[in-house]
Amino acid sequence: MERTENTKYEELTTRIPAKELSALLKVSSSLASTMDLIEVLQIAIESAADLFGLNTGAIYTLENGELYLGATTPPLPAHFSDELRFAKLGDHPHICKVVSTKAPVYLADARKSHLSAAEKIAVDSRHLVSILYFPLLLKDDVIGVFIVGTTDKTRLFASNEIDLCYILSFQVSLAIANTLLYKKAQQSIVDLSRAYEATLEGWSRVLDMRDHITEEHTRRVVELTVALASRMGIPDSDLGHVRRGALMHDIGKMAIPDAVLQKPDALSDAEQKIMQTHPEKARQLLAQIDYLSPAMDIPYCHHEKWDGSGYPCGLKGEEIPLAARIFAVIDVFDALTSDRPYRKAWTKEEALDYIKNQSGKHFYPEAVRVFLEMIEA
């Protein structure tokens, strides 16, 4: 809030009795307990009605000249159509007046007031009598309006109740602004993540082309690795790291010379040593990228073996990160069942027999067991 708003807010709070201030503090605490806009609006309108001892109310947000019915008390039925939540500002003259004057509008008896067709539908459907429309002000902008009213008899609103409305308006407007900022920040994170994912997939396709491997290989190992990791109890919150690790599993090969990487024949001992540097190359690359460092386990450790005979570090057993242990089974199975320049694909049965035979040697036995169950399923 700007200084003028702060000043007005402070002046109003000095005039409010302690009992009402205590109630407003509870409202403020409730509003701060969630970053979900619908929940904020529901808390706001229920609090407004409760403060004045009323049994009905509604709150609208204003977006690009349109009103959006955010919440009501009593709450709207679960099947209430989204289409019915929208209204044209011009169809509601009393709300228009609130927006243009930035001041409350009071109808002593809506049954005797001149109403537009849309207003009459709202009044009749809610059986409203006295109505108070109040602006939700954020700085100099009206971002919405809350409406409270009676359904049995007319009612006047005292000056201290109008002061309460102003204070509540400040609280609700700030809560709405916070939820919108939070939503925008979350969307920015999603957009950034999508951009990262698209970049990673681009890198992966380039690497597949350099390595003469089809794009389907990477897609298959990513999908199977995530599925197996989920079956083995890796939390959903970590599956994104597993997916990125599988996608980038051979990213270190970008630093391997084409003469070695694309050689159609068996590699010499010297060439094999060069090829075996790709996990370390991956570590050096990914360690510089905070977003990808949690996905490091697969690119760096997927050539380690359960019996300690793998590379680059000769890790043994549970020294090998779980994601890498899981991926190793998937990577070898898919490699064996795919055509390569130097050999034809094995049959599925031959590859599964190899996986079984290497359980406890190359592969983590539990990963083999769950993988075989998954393949059968």
By annotation, the residues acting in catalysis are 253
HEC string of 11-52 equals: HHHHHCCHHHHHHHHHHHHHHCCCCCHHHHHHHHHHHHHHHC
Give residues with Cβ within 8 angstroms of 61, minimum separation 6: 41, 67, 68, 70, 136, 143, 144, 176
Scored b (16 or more CB within 10 A) or e, 66-83 reads ebbbbbbbeebeeeeeee
Single-letter amino acid code for the residue at 57: G
Q: Are 61 and 68 in contact (CB under 8 A)?
A: yes
8-state DSSP, 268: P
8-state DSSP, 130: S
Nearest to 122 by CA among 102, 103, 107, 104: 107
How buried is residue 197: exposed, middle or buried, by Cβ count under 10 Å (0-12/13-18/19+)? Answer: middle
| Residue linked to tokens 């270190």 | 252
Structure tokens belonging to residue 319: 């020294």
CA-to-CA dists, residue 266 to 260, 270, 317, 342, angstroms: 10, 11, 29, 8
Q: Are 130 and 107 in contact (CB under 8 A)?
A: yes
Task: To the nearest 10°, report the CA torsion of 186, 188, 189, 195.
Answer: 150
